[in-house]
Chains A and B, each alone.
Chain A
Amino acid sequence: MSTNPTPAMGQELENTRAQDYLSSFLDKNLRIHVSDGRMFVGQMKCTDRESNYVLGNAHEYREPTPKQVKEATERAVKGHTSVILDMNCRYVGLIVVPGEHIRKIEVEEFDPSLIS
């Protein structure tokens, strides 16, 4: 996918390409990280110039609380150097994530190298 529009192109063209490019993400699963450390996963429904994103069927993920971490650590068998904890998850439905709070956006993509 070519994503670097050449400066020679007119603004009109850039706009069209931006629209096409963004449209290609519609209904794909996005993973948006926000400023307070949470992460939202849902289908992209809409976006605009301010990078506000509307996600449908979204889930919210947050890091485990220190208490949960502590408990898990206590449970863990001595000698293990790492403990794997699930993030806390809940369904939030249709959401708008304002552009100003977005720290990172990831998209779920097909990876041919994973086919075994």
Chain B
Amino acid sequence: MAAKGAEEAAVDVAVPEGASIASGDNTVWTDVSLLLEAACEDLRDGELVHGDNFNLFAAMSALEIMDPKMDSGMVCKYYSVDEAIENGAAPVPISFYKTVDVQCTIDIMDYLLACEATWHKGHSLAQTVFSCIYLLRPDRTSSHALLHSYCRVIRATCKAVISVVSDARTHEEEDLFTMAYGLPLDGDGDEKCLSLLNAVEETISRQLRACKAHSSKRRVLEDIEPLQENVDLEEGYCKALLCRLRFRKHFYHVLTSMRRPQGRGLELARKHIATSISELECIRKSSEFLRSIACGACDDDTEDRTTASGCQPIGFDASLNCRLSAPTPPRTIKILSWKMAIDYFVKLLHDLDIICSYSLDPLLEGVLHFVVQFQKSQPDLVARAHLQLLLVQDGKLYGRDSMFAVINRVAALPEVTKNHDIQNNEYIGQLGQLVINMLKILCTNSAWQRRKLGKTLQDWRVIYVQLELAFRKDFGDVLSSPDDENVCMKIFQHILLWVEEQTYWIASHFLILGFELELYSPSEYCMVYWYMYVVLIKLAEKTHLKMAARNDTNKRKGKKKRDSIKDVAREYRIPPAVLFVQCQICLVEGLTMMLAALRNENMILQSPNPFNTEQERFFQHFELLQKACVPDHISYPAFHESTTYARISTLVMYNYFKDAQRIAKEVKSSFSNDPDKLAELRRIEQVAEHNSIALNVICQVGALDPKLKVSFEFSHHPYFATAVVKRS
């Protein structure tokens, strides 16, 4: 190997081993391999030979050599990018035969798409997209316009995506994503990537036109050099390239227009999203053509292939960068298949489209509902980051409404508040910050979101207490002026009520997320539903009070114009939003009691938990709620007390599920223009109906048949369980 690098045959390079690590004075290195090997064989299994100052614990921190995850120094094929290039790993042009060159360029494009999707899914940029040697040396490709334009737009896109994600900072758990140390993300002229891309696209579409004209024997108006040599393949190659280039262009447009302040670019972004999706479908279809040419040359494993043609792309080496992906140990990464990559981008674009079609609801309740609904489709990091940046810009909602205005609206403060001194109150400022934090947290992945929401509950409780104290103090000051006093009173009441309502909303969302993350075992459903019950009761109470206060304000406003008796009548109607919660309350109460009764009557399979008691699990699940006193005076004994005496016979007499069904039916008409709420009500109705029937069956048959088995499924609702009764 040493001689290989020498230019002159006469020069013989010898690398004396250990030249720089000459043994100390008067010592030599002796080969003891065989002796040591023999000695080791005589050791017993698991026996260690070590000194007094060394133990297994110390060994834990040792780096394991030759382990791809730990040993970053493992000798790879090439030591550096330059060496790889010198050895012809990434030639420019890829081939002097234009047909082969085009074919290989398409493979590179496809593989880059797969790499990009793999990156978005949480692997390091260095080992995915930037495993492409062409990307690592931006200037090398300049003679190859097609490849050069594609590499440029890829670098620019990566940069745009990184900036979205790092600005949103929703990636705490996905922090590999933004690491780009040492990667040439700022290629010279990459910001002008679109003009080059357009020029290349223009050339190829001319070539396509020329080739079509040629095949229909029409006279060619302009003399254009074809894309490659093979006339039969010209049209197919032109089309395959065009959809790939156009997808990149429109996708880049999507990313940039979505970043426009105050959501001004959303409409434009939607147009580009639609085009991007249709180009992706063209890319998908081009696979047939590309495979037909490559057939034979490549592996047939259709599912795993990372390019449309199935050929291995030229110019990629993931091991080159493995040292750049610090501070994580280099990992062997499996790149997503080309098909999965396209599916990923289609989903991403659909998710972005949902964001772009959002109406920028000024009411916080609407925002929360939208975000929760959006998260149900399990969007990936990039889409979530975009949503968050849209919601919170410059500390304002959509970069437009100040947090005080948002609170003003959601807490239904009286008109005068808008210019009231209260917005300068220190705690109101903190409250605004809490709302921003909540919005940001709601845009993170479910696991992170749940943990953060749980922790933030304490902040909400603290701010409540602080506001209450501050208001009392201020209230004392303004007692002298009776007019102002009234307004202040109103503001205090409304804000405090809303803070409480919001706290219980967070708590209920926290509990619901536990179902999504599958954190509860069936034996714990009873306590979880019970806790949901106590939280929802509070939520309904606060919502009701807040709405009553809101109506009160409206009524007073109206009173000046007309005194009507109708208003009084309306006041006594429970608002639909409260009834909606009420309906859920009946359902969770029914579930709690049903589960408790089944347990008490030994009709449900109980697997005794060997590790901890029910009380311990209660604390583990609800620790964060308990610490924040949400709700007050709630503890394990309270749960125990309310469930020990539950019996099936009494449950049938008072069927909570029937109540839930009844309320759901009643309240449906009030939500006729809210399809999400309507669908939710329908699901609740279904669960209630099934459980109500199940309860009757258990009551009638259960006494006679001891073999009756009851289990719970989430077949009708993601977190309200449905009982399934079976005879074993």
Which A residues are within 8 Å of any B CB, using their own CB? 3, 5, 14-15, 17-19, 21-23, 25-27, 29, 31, 34-41, 45-51, 54, 56, 59-67, 69-70, 72-74, 76, 78, 80-87, 89-90, 92-99, 101-102, 104-112, 114-115
Is B611 interfacial (CB-CB < 8 Å)?
Answer: no
Most interface-central of A35, A49, A78, A95 (chain B CB within 10 A):
A49
What is the CA–CA distance of A22 and B7 in the complex, to the nearest angstrom?
47
A46 near B33 (CB under 8 angstroms)? no
Q: How far is the CB of A111 from chain B (nearest CB, A)?
A: 4
Residues of B31-74 whose CB lies within 8 A of A? 31-33, 35-51, 54, 58-59, 61-67, 73-74
Most interface-central of B38, B39, B82 (chain A CB within 10 A):
B39
B17 near A66 (CB under 8 angstroms)? no
A96 near B64 (CB under 8 angstroms)? yes
Residues from chain A with a CB closer than 8 A to the CB of B64 are 95-96, 98
Residues from chain A with a CB closer than 8 A to the CB of B73 are 38, 60, 62, 90, 92
In this complex, what residue of B is CB-closest to A64?
A: B15
Residues from chain A with a CB closer than 8 A to the CB of B189 are none
Residues from chain A with a CB closer than 8 A to the CB of B13 are 69, 72-73, 82-83, 85
A-B contact count, CB below 8 Å? Answer: 223
Beyond the given pairs A105-B32, A106-B29, A111-B27, 4 more chain A to chain B contacts, judged by CB atoms under 8 angstroms and listed by A's residue number, are: A47-B36, A61-B21, A63-B2, A97-B65
Residues from chain B with a CB closer than 8 A to the CB of A47 are 36, 40, 43, 48-50
What is the CA–CA distance of A36 and B4 in the complex, to the nearest angstrom?
18
Known: A65-B83, A106-B31. A96 touches B51 (CB 8 A): no
Q: Please name the 4 residue pairs, one residue from A and one from B, whose CB atoms are nearest each other, closest first.
A: A18-B42, A69-B5, A46-B50, A36-B75
Q: How far is the CB of A115 from chain B (nearest CB, A)?
A: 6
A95 near B11 (CB under 8 angstroms)? no
B18 near A46 (CB under 8 angstroms)? no
Is B638 interfacial (CB-CB < 8 Å)?
Answer: no
A108 near B29 (CB under 8 angstroms)? yes
What is the CA–CA distance of A98 and B67 in the complex, to the nearest angstrom?
9
B2 near A22 (CB under 8 angstroms)? no
Instruction: Select which of A64, A73, A111 is within 8 A of B7 by beta carbon.
Output: A73
A–B pairs, 28, beta carbons within 8 Å: A3-B39, A5-B42, A18-B39, A18-B42, A19-B43, A21-B35, A22-B49, A25-B36, A29-B23, A31-B18, A38-B73, A41-B18, A45-B50, A45-B54, A49-B41, A51-B37, A67-B82, A67-B83, A69-B6, A73-B6, A82-B12, A82-B14, A83-B11, A98-B67, A99-B40, A104-B31, A106-B30, A115-B26
Residues from chain A with a CB closer than 8 A to the CB of B66 are 34-36, 97-98, 101
Instruction: Select which of A29, A61, A66, A82 is within 8 A of B4 by beta carbon.
Output: A66
Is B20 interfacial (CB-CB < 8 Å)?
Answer: yes
Residues from chain B with a CB closer than 8 A to the CB of A3 are 35, 38-39
In this complex, what residue of A is CB-closest to B75?
A: A36
Known: A46-B49, A96-B64, A106-B30. A87 touches B39 (CB 8 A): no
Is B16 interfacial (CB-CB < 8 Å)?
Answer: yes
B29 near A48 (CB under 8 angstroms)? no
Q: How far is the CB of A80 from chain B (nearest CB, A)?
A: 7
A111 near B16 (CB under 8 angstroms)? no
Known: A70-B6, A73-B8, A85-B13. A18 touches B29 (CB 8 A): no
Residues from chain B with a CB closer than 8 A to the CB of A35 are 66
In this complex, what residue of B is CB-closest to A36?
A: B75
What is the CA–CA distance of A84 and B67 in the complex, to the nearest angstrom?
31
Residues from chain B with a CB closer than 8 A to the CB of A89 are 20-21
Is B79 interfacial (CB-CB < 8 Å)?
Answer: yes
B6 near A51 (CB under 8 angstroms)? no
Residues from chain B with a CB closer than 8 A to the CB of A69 are 2, 5-6, 13, 15
Q: How far is the CB of B553 from chain A (nearest CB, A)?
A: 69
A109 near B46 (CB under 8 angstroms)? no
A109 near B11 (CB under 8 angstroms)? no
A18 near B40 (CB under 8 angstroms)? yes
Known: A22-B39, A87-B18, A98-B64. A108 touches B24 (CB 8 A): yes
A15 near B15 (CB under 8 angstroms)? no
Residues from chain B with a CB closer than 8 A to the CB of A37 are 75
Residues from chain B with a CB closer than 8 A to the CB of A82 are 11-14
B33 near A105 (CB under 8 angstroms)? yes
B62 near A94 (CB under 8 angstroms)? yes
Residues from chain A with a CB closer than 8 A to the CB of B59 are 45-46, 54, 94, 96
What is the CA–CA distance of A26 and B48 in the complex, to the nearest angstrom?
12
Residues from chain A with a CB closer than 8 A to the CB of B29 are 31, 106-109
In this complex, what residue of B is CB-closest to A87?
A: B20
Most interface-central of B41, B42, B45, B63 (chain A CB within 10 A):
B42
What is the CA–CA distance of A19 and B79 in the complex, to the nearest angstrom?
40
What is the CA–CA distance of A85 and B521 in the complex, to the nearest angstrom?
64
In this complex, what residue of B is CB-closest to A45?
A: B54
B20 near A48 (CB under 8 angstroms)? no
B47 near A49 (CB under 8 angstroms)? yes
Is B10 interfacial (CB-CB < 8 Å)?
Answer: yes
Residues from chain B with a CB closer than 8 A to the CB of A40 are 65
Is B565 interfacial (CB-CB < 8 Å)?
Answer: no
Instruction: Select which of A22, A105, A106 is within 8 A of B43 by beta carbon.
Output: A22
What is the CA–CA distance of A82 and B46 in the complex, to the nearest angstrom?
48
Instruction: Select which of B1, B33, B42, B43 is within 8 A of A104 by beta carbon.
Output: B33
Residues from chain B with a CB closer than 8 A to the CB of A76 are 11
B47 near A109 (CB under 8 angstroms)? no
Is B28 interfacial (CB-CB < 8 Å)?
Answer: yes
Residues from chain A with a CB closer than 8 A to the CB of B42 are 5, 14-15, 17-18
A70 near B62 (CB under 8 angstroms)? no
Q: How far is the CB of B9 from chain A (nearest CB, A)?
A: 11
Most interface-central of A46, A70, A109 (chain B CB within 10 A):
A46
What is the CA–CA distance of A69 and B83 in the complex, to the nearest angstrom?
12
What is the CA–CA distance of A54 and B60 in the complex, to the nearest angstrom?
10
Most interface-central of B7, B18, B23, B27 (chain A CB within 10 A):
B23
In this complex, what residue of A is CB-closest to B21?
A: A41
A86 near B54 (CB under 8 angstroms)? no
Known: A36-B75, A39-B18. A49 touches B27 (CB 8 A): no
B43 near A49 (CB under 8 angstroms)? yes
Most interface-central of A5, A15, A94 (chain B CB within 10 A):
A94
B15 near A70 (CB under 8 angstroms)? no
Instruction: Select which of A54, A73, A93, A105 is within 8 A of B31 by beta carbon.
Output: A105
Residues from chain B with a CB closer than 8 A to the CB of A17 are 42
A23 near B12 (CB under 8 angstroms)? no
What is the CA–CA distance of A74 and B5 in the complex, to the nearest angstrom?
10
In this complex, what residue of A is CB-closest to B37?
A: A51
Residues from chain A with a CB closer than 8 A to the CB of B19 are 84-87
Known: A46-B50, A63-B15. A95 touches B7 (CB 8 A): no
Q: How far is the CB of A34 from chain B (nearest CB, A)?
A: 6
Instruction: Select which of B24, B43, B48 is within 8 A of A15 by beta carbon.
Output: B43
Residues of B328-387 whose CB lies within 8 A of A? none
Residues of B624-674 whose CB lies within 8 A of A? none
Q: How far is the CB of B119 from chain A (nearest CB, A)?
A: 28
Residues from chain B with a CB closer than 8 A to the CB of A110 are 26-27
Known: A72-B13, A86-B19, A105-B36. A48 touches B62 (CB 8 A): no
Instruction: Select which of A14, A46, A51 is within 8 A of B48 by beta carbon.
Output: A46
Is B80 interfacial (CB-CB < 8 Å)?
Answer: yes
B27 near A114 (CB under 8 angstroms)? yes
What is the CA–CA distance of A46 and B52 in the complex, to the nearest angstrom?
10
